[in-house]
Amino acid sequence: MQDDVRISCLSGFEGKPVTIRGWLAGRRTGGKIVFLLIRDGSGFCQAVVEASSPDAFSNAQSAGLESSLAITARPVSSKLRSPNSM
């Protein structure tokens, strides 16, 4: 597994498993999806958590703003709306 990656460096790891650590800056819930806005001192990114991962989904729904988070995922580019395009 890769060491922790700063949000500002995510574009170099697209499609590869990485772990980011940061704080929950915002959350939107839409049915079976939770969108988390995460910040780490180098920037912001959005994480998408689906109900098909029950433990992660429950944690995403209950985490308080400014909670510290560690998220392991495969970054994908989103040029439309996501901060930092990841």
29: confidence class by pLDDT, cuts 50, 70, 90: very high
- pLDDT, mean of residues 22-37: 96
Domain boundaries, the chain: 7-75
Model pTM? 0.84
pLDDT tens-place string over residues 37-84: 999 999 999 999 999 999 999 999 999 999 999 999 999 887 655 555
Output the six-digit token pair for 82. Answer: 């996501």
The Cα 6–Cα 41 span in angstroms is 8
Question: Which pLDDT does position 78 carry in this prediction?
Answer: 75
Dist. CA 10–CA 52, nearest whole Å: 24
Within 8 A by CB and 6+ apart from 31, the residues are 51
CATH architecture of 7-75: Beta Barrel (2.40)
